[in-house]
Amino acid sequence: MRFLHTSDWHLGRGLHRVPLLDAQRRFLDHLVDTARAREVDAVFVAGDIYDRAVPPLAAVELFDHALRRLAEAGVATVMISGNHDSARRLGVGAPLMAGAGIHLLTDPAGCDRPVLLRDAYGDVAVYGLPYLEPALVREEFAVETARHSAVLGAAMDRVREDLAGRPDGTRAVVLAHAFVTGAATSDSERDITAGGAASVPVTLFDGVHYAALGHLHGCQTLTDRVRYSGSPLAYSFSEAAHRKSMWLVDLDAAGTVHAERLDYPVPRPLARITGRLEDLLADPALEAHREHWVEATLTDPARPAEPMARLSARFPHLLALAFAPERAASEDRRSYAERLRGRDDQRIAEDFIAHVRPGQDLDARERAELRRALESARVREGGA
């Protein structure tokens, strides 16, 4: 059995102020073209098809177009809902779509009812574990604690029980949307800790031949049989160093995994640059990032004038600007609260201004105005 493992499409999402629908259209076209060219039997999508529960119409149209092309190519598609998706909306029409080879597995109660795909060596049972919010599925799985490890563990117990009742030689693949302990995260994944301890052990997926994971945006291998494909596009600058890819997996007659990493097209590289404004404007080594999407962090002790406009002149695709002022070695590094103790109102106010305006001390006129304001406040307070 040959299949593509992908996840976290996040259709409808942008990068800062840049819409990514055209880039999403290109990666879906690339996915379909790859499925045809590499003669895959199936495409597996491990959740977060959309970026939000009610996606924009343009995102739904991209989804529809991709599924129609996969169905026309005779490629079976199996997908689960992620924590960004509305499971019920995504699952609408699932029984009808299954007739066209498009299998939407969004119901937690159906996690032990696999899609059966067949190759020259027999059946491959494909189980879907959509994102399981512990508080919502606790009763379904009869677990005592509302924790991700508890509900996913109970779901995997059902999978193993069903698999045990199938003919010898049946190979098993599970799709799951979860955070597995030890995997690397990025800033663009929505936190799922609200429903209890977020991470689950990799051993939870013992007993199946391949676990196609979604949720984390970096492609990574936890074991030979447990992998994240990552997102096809970078959705935050924390993903600037990611190599965006999907897994091409061959599952032989014995269930042994042979995986090849296939790159997605990159619409525009991301770059993170850090330094003082004048250095960023002059450094010849940074010319390589002129056409990249750029996040700049300025380290000037005092905020320079018009930094966004000046940087944009050199980096026309600058999307984000942050400030992290350099601190002198002699600077007081105690916490702000510690530095307030034993100080009068005038000194506290001056310290606060210095705290939010680093590198720029108050002049005599500002000190005098501040003193008059504080005295006026005391007079009003005393007369109240």
- If one counts the domains in the chain, the total is 3
Q: What is the mean pLDDT of residues 203-228?
A: 96
Distance from C-alpha of 306 to C-alpha of 321, rounded to nearest angstrom: 11
At 200, which CATH number?
Answer: 3.60.21.10
328 falls within a domain: no
**Are residues 48 and 196 both part of a single domain?**
yes
Q: What percent of the chain has pLDDT over 70?
A: 92
Domain end (from 237, 263, 289): 263
Residue span of the structural domain in which 345 resides: 336-383
- Over residues 308-317, mean pLDDT: 97
Averaged pLDDT for residues 323-342: 66
Q: Is residue 223 part of a domain?
A: yes
Mean pLDDT value of segment 182-196: 67
Distance CA 342, CA 356 (A): 21
46 closest CA partner among 71, 13, 81: 81
CA 172, chain centre distance (Å): 26
Cα–Cα nearest to 45, from 95, 3, 15: 3
Residue 261 has pLDDT above 80, yes or no: yes
314-322: average pLDDT:
97
3-state secondary structure the chain: CEEEEECCCCECCEECCEECHHHHHHHHHHHHHHHHHCCCCEEEEECCCECCCCCCHHHHHHHHHHHHHHHHCCCEEEEECCCCCCHHHHCCCHHHHHCCCEEEECCHHHCCCCEEEEECCEEEEEEEECCCCHHHHHHHHCCCCCCHHHHHHHHHHHHHHHHHCCCCCCEEEEEEECEECCCCCCCCCCCCHHHCCCEECHHHHCCCCEEEEECCCCCEEEECCEEECCCCCCCCHHHCCCCCEEEEEEECCCCCEEEEEEECCCCCCEEEEEECHHHHHHCHHHHHHCCCEEEEEECCCCCCCCHHHHHHHHCCCEEEEEECCCCCCCCCCCCHHHHHCCCCHHHHHHHHHHHHCCCCCCCHHHHHHHHHHHHHHHHHHHHC
Averaged confidence pLDDT in the chain: 91
| 329 within some domain | no
Same structural domain for residues 201 and 169?
A: yes
Q: What is the pLDDT of residue 196?
A: 43
* Beta partners for residue 104, in sequence order: 79
Establish if 278 belongs to a structural domain.
yes
The verdict on residue 96 lying in a domain is yes
The answer to whether residues 363 and 318 belong to one domain is no
**Tens digits of per-residue pLDDT, 81-134?**
999 999 999 999 999 999 999 999 999 999 999 999 999 999 999 999 999 999
Rounded Cα distance, 374 and 217, in Å: 52
Tell me the pLDDT band of 194, cut-offs 50, 70 and 90: very low
Give the pLDDT confidence score for residue 364 in this predicted structure: 86
Q: Looking at the structure, tell me whether residues 237 and 276 fall in a common domain.
A: no
Q: Are residues 206 and 302 in the same domain?
A: no
251 with 293, same domain? no
- Is the same domain home to 296 and 257? no
User: Are 130 and 49 in a shared domain?
Assistant: yes
Answer yes or no: is 331 within a domain.
no
- Whether the pLDDT of residue 384 is over 60: the answer is no
316 in the same domain as 202: no
Same domain, residue pair 97 and 14: yes
Q: Which of 215, 244, 263 is the last residue of a domain?
A: 263
Question: Which of 323, 344, 360 finishes a domain?
Answer: 323
Identify the band that residue 182 occupies on the pLDDT scale cut at 50, 70 and 90: confident
Question: First and final CA of the chain: distance in angstroms?
Answer: 81
> pLDDT-derived band of residue 283, with 50, 70 and 90 as boundaries?
very high
pLDDT, tens digit (0-9, with 9 covering 90-100), for 361-383: 788 888 889 888 888 877 675 55
